Amino acid sequence: MFSPFLDFTDRFRLMDDLERQVDRMLALQSGRAGAVPWMSLRDAGEALVLVADLPGISEKDIDITIEQDVLTLRAEGAESAPKGYKTVRAERPKVRFQKQIELPVRVDAERAEASSKDGVLTLTLPKAASALPRKIAVAGAAKQNAPS
């Protein structure tokens, strides 16, 4: 429900919810139910940390690239019957998706690390040296007026 009294955080949350619902609807129409992963991107000081839910997708089926300030996450997976079994009924379609995220700061892609455990991908992106805060010393009046 629209309310002009919502703060901006709530408005962005509502927009994210709407985007996710539209993505899910489009995935259902194309036969790719559940193809859009839940993910979050956090600033951990010296690095950005992305956490994405990728249930049923193995590490070998995940492709991560960074080009300039855009991170692209691609994955493809399909449920298969365990060895010695055959599929009698399959309602879970092959999952394929691509998600691009504009990163808020430059990162050092050479030092990036990714791991996957229990269907959760964790990607640590160290910030580039140029993106880290720097302390700038201020010369005081005492130094400027000191006798030579």
pLDDT in tens, 101-113: 999 999 999 999 9
DSSP, collapsed to helix, strand or coil, labels residue 64 as strand
Domain assignment of residue 66, given as a range: 36-82+91-131
Q: Which comes out higher in pLDDT, residue 147 or 30?
A: 147
11, part of any domain: no
50, part of any domain: yes
In the numeric block, which tokens belong to residue 18? Answer: 């709407």
111, part of any domain: yes
In the numeric block, which tokens belong to residue 142? Answer: 């005492």
**Residue 31 — very low, low, confident or very high, per pLDDT cuts 50/70/90?**
very low
Total number of domains in the chain: 1
3-state secondary structure 67-111: ECCEEEEEEEECCCCCCCCCCCCCCCCCEEEEEEEECCCCECHHH
136, part of any domain: no
> How many Å apart are CA 121 and CA 71, to the nearest integer?
14
Q: Which comes out higher in pLDDT, residue 38 or 8?
A: 38
CATH number at residue 101: 2.60.40.790
CA 6 to chain centre: 26
Average the pLDDT over 107-126 and give the result.
94
Note the pTM of the prediction, 2 decimals. 0.63
Average the pLDDT over 14-34 and give the result.
67
CA 120 to chain centre: 12
147, part of any domain: no
> How many Å apart are CA 145 and CA 148, to the nearest integer?
9
Q: Does the pLDDT of residue 42 top 70, yes or no? A: yes
CA angle at 32 for the pair 29 and 35, rounded to the nearest 5°: 120
100, part of any domain: yes
User: Residue 145's pLDDT is what?
Assistant: 57
